[in-house]
Amino acid sequence: MIHNQWYAVLPSKAVRKNTITGVRRLGLDLAIFRDNSGKLGCVTDRCTHRGAALSKGRIREGCIECPFHGLRFSVDGVCRLIPANGRSSAESLTRYNVTSYPISEAHGIIYVQYVDSDRRTGSDETEPALPFFEGDIDDKMVYSEFSDLWNSHYSRCIENQLDVVHLPFVHRTTIGRGNRTLVNGPKTELVDGGIITSANNDVDVGQKPVRAADCVIKSTYLKFMYPNIWMNHISDKIKVVIYFAPVDDENTILYIRFYDNITGVRFIDRFIAALGKPANFIIERQDKRVVITQKPKASSFVSNEKLVAGDAPIIQYRKIRDSLKNS
């Protein structure tokens, strides 16, 4: 994981008011909950008292209550009550605090900031923005969503969505039809917080590929925002967004959204978005079948893979990810 980055981990609808959702994300067992005002909290899913899972508890007086002995913790992990000691106890409860993680939400997505335990300073680091596609997607668009678990590191899942070389092979019956195996470029550009590229493939009739410098970013393009959210800008009215929620070093949950604003009439556009879900499902399964076979599970900037010119977006992704991890 990349220290200090906001990871999209869960749909907002997965955590309702006064409920607790236990999940494994970022290699951590987490209890994500809302108090009675709707405020989110994210803490380690383990009580400091006797090690029970806090996600099996309940919300009481705005706190998460351990199901075993009733210890209560606020949304920031502070222990507020040990029932066995009584409400009038003057004992400091600081040593019972549970580890908490910064949590936020926007666009119907819950984000958790990964803070490396060895680098917790409480500090002055610049707070990164929540990654999304402002300017590409607005409140006029509606979406359908589904999820799927892949037995792959999230870096492999992301790279697959930046890979223009695989299209005529993995997707030869869907979006890769036409046998356009020759890869021109592809041109890759840096944007604030991410990268942008587009497929510019041709049928190979013996011509040389066009150099990246002579290619353009097309109106249908791919945009990725670090650390884990991607968009296929199909048109101004249709987009596909995926956020790749890391479970651990070997598993990732893909949350796949089909956005549209084709008619401007919300109930009709919702129906169209629902129709887009089966098509996305077919394409996603074509990818999954191959990506889960890749070894090693995680990719890295320095590797034994023999990359080609068409892998330029993947090389750029790895380079920036490596820089962020080491910064």
pTM here? 0.94
Residues forming a β-bridge with 244: 254
pLDDT at 21: 97
| SS3 call for 161 | helix
Task: Name the E strands within the chain.
Answer: 6-11, 20-25, 28-34, 40-44, 58-60, 63-65, 72-73, 79-81, 103-106, 109-113, 142-150, 182-183, 188-191, 194-197, 201-202, 221-225, 229-235, 238-246, 252-260
Q: Listing from the earlier edge strand, what are the strands of the sheet with 194-197? A: 142-150, 252-260, 238-246, 229-235, 221-225, 194-197, 188-191
In angstroms, the CA 224 to CA 161 distance is 9
**Residues in the chain, total:** 327
pLDDT at 146: 97
Distances (CA, A) of 286 to 98, 249, 279, 292: 42, 22, 11, 11
In angstroms, the CA 241 to CA 250 distance is 22
Token pair of 147, please? 């999820």
In angstroms, the CA 217 to CA 198 distance is 6
Token pair of 102, please? 């910064």
What is the residue-level pLDDT of the chain in tens, covering all 327 positions? 999 999 999 999 999 999 999 999 999 999 999 988 899 999 999 999 999 999 999 999 999 999 999 999 999 999 999 999 998 888 899 999 999 999 999 999 999 999 876 655 455 456 678 999 999 999 999 999 999 999 999 999 999 999 999 999 999 999 999 999 999 999 999 999 999 999 999 999 999 999 999 999 999 999 999 999 999 999 999 999 999 999 999 999 999 999 999 999 999 999 999 999 999 999 999 999 999 999 999 999 999 999 999 999 999 999 999 999 998
In angstroms, the CA 76 to CA 251 distance is 27
Q: Are 262 and 237 in contact (CB under 8 A)?
A: yes
Token pair of 267, please? 């109930």
pLDDT at 119: 56
User: What domains are there in the chain, each with its CATH number?
Assistant: 6-119 (2.102.10.10), 142-326 (3.90.380.10)
pLDDT at 118: 60
In angstroms, the CA 180 to CA 178 distance is 6
